[in-house]
Amino acid sequence: MSATTILSCHQLRREFRGFTAVDGLDLQVAEGTIHALIGPNGAGKTTVFNLLTRFLPVSGGSIRLRDEDITRLSAEQVVGRGLVRSFQISAVFGHLSVLDNLRVALLARAGGVHRFWQSGRALNAFTDEAQVLLRDFALEGLASALAVSLPYGRKRALELATTLARNPQVLLLDEPTQGMGVEDVARTCELIRRAAEGRTVLMVEHNLNVVASLADRITVLARGRRLAEGSYQEVAADPLVREAYLGHASEVAHA
């Protein structure tokens, strides 16, 4: 990998009342790549995401985004720097319409949230761009539906569309295909591939087929530590990884 590192952490640590969930993690994500973070349940993947996006304070270590140390920034500030995440459990604004889900993200990007004196018509400025995203994600017929009423696969598509509306340079996706049927998984893979054009993606994913087909580089996490790193073939061949995935060993080999 000759590309420059865009997001990295050094000796990252997080403790929950004496329990160390992330234990001295070093991670470098190269610009323009899709980087997968995998590992067994409870390995600390979501916690790493929470630390990188400043949703949790770190217990130790540092985080860099490009040339800047972002370890002490707030969650809202890192979004402004171009680092945006999605959530493991589908997160949409259920009582807002599909269109408003997108418009609120576009509004946040434009920095217009404090304009309390403007009428609701000011939001129309974002409608065209929202419509384009709706079309890209096959949601165009659902613009006025409440997000809570969407079927699961459509909700996750909306979530991804909303995240992209914020136009991140680095996109953090926490299990984007979790709980989906085969068809939706294939569709979502395609959407992620398209979203990754001109961006950097760091994704947590349990579905190893998805990882194999999308990821340029893979980091395996176990008990909060880095177990292995490399291409899919390298990682799949690693005896330590096979051991950590014990029950899944055959799955790793065949995927």
Partner 1 sequence: MAALPQHTAARPQLAATLAHPAVQWFLLLLAGLGLPFLVYPVLAMEMLCFALFASAFNLLMGYAGLLSFGHAAFFGTGAYLFGYASKMLAFGPLASLACGTLAAAALGVVFGSIAIRRQGIYFAMVTLALAQIVYFALVQAPFTGGEDGMQGIPRGMVFGMFDLQGEQTVLGQTAPWCLYLLVLVLCLAGHALIARLLASPTGLALRAVQDHEARARSLGLQADRIKFWVFVTSAALAGLAGAMKALVLGLASLTDAAWNMSGEVVLMTLIGGVGTLLGPAVGAFFLRYLHHALAGLGGWVTVLIGAIFVICVLLFRRGMVGEWRAWRGAARV
Ligand X SMILES: Nc1ncnc2c1ncn2[C@@H]1O[C@H](COP(=O)(O)OP(=O)(O)OP(=O)(O)O)[C@@H](O)[C@H]1O
For 18, counting Cβ atoms within 10 Å of its Cβ (0-12 exposed, 13-18 middle, 19+ buried), the class is: exposed
Token duo for residue 8: 């990295």
**47 binds, options partner 1, ligand X, Mg ion, none, Cβ within 5 to 8 A by partner type:** ligand X
To ligand X, the closest distance from the beta carbon of 16 in angstroms equals 3
Cβ distance to Mg ion smaller for residue 33 or 46: 46
What is the closest distance, in whole angstroms, from the C-beta atom of residue 107 to ligand X in the complex?
Answer: 30
CB of 77 to partner 1, least distance (A): 8
Instruction: For residue 246, give every residue at least 6 positions away whose Cβ sits within 8 Å of its Cβ, in sequence order, or none.
Output: none
Restricted to residues 73-92, the positions that interact with ligand X (CB under 6 A) are 88
Q: Which is nearer to ligand X, 16 or 152 (CB)?
A: 16
Q: Does 152 bind ligand X (CB under 6 A)?
A: no
Check residue 241 for interaction with ligand X (CB under 6 A). no
Number of helical H runs and strand E runs in the chain: 10, 10
Part of the chain binding ligand X (CB under 6 A), chosen from 36-44, 122-130, 159-167, 245-253: 36-44
Q: How far is the CB of 11 from ligand X (least distance, A)?
A: 17
Residue 31 phi, psi dihedral angles, 5° rounding: -60, 135
Q: Where are the beta strands (DSSP E) in the chain?
A: 5-16, 19-30, 34-38, 60-65, 68-69, 83-85, 170-174, 200-204, 217-222, 225-230
Tokens of residue 150, six digits: 């969407």
Residue ranges in contact with ligand X by CB under 6 A: 16, 21, 39, 41-47, 88
Q: Using CB under 5 A as the criterion, which residues of the chain lie in contact with Mg ion when the complex forms? A: 45-46, 88
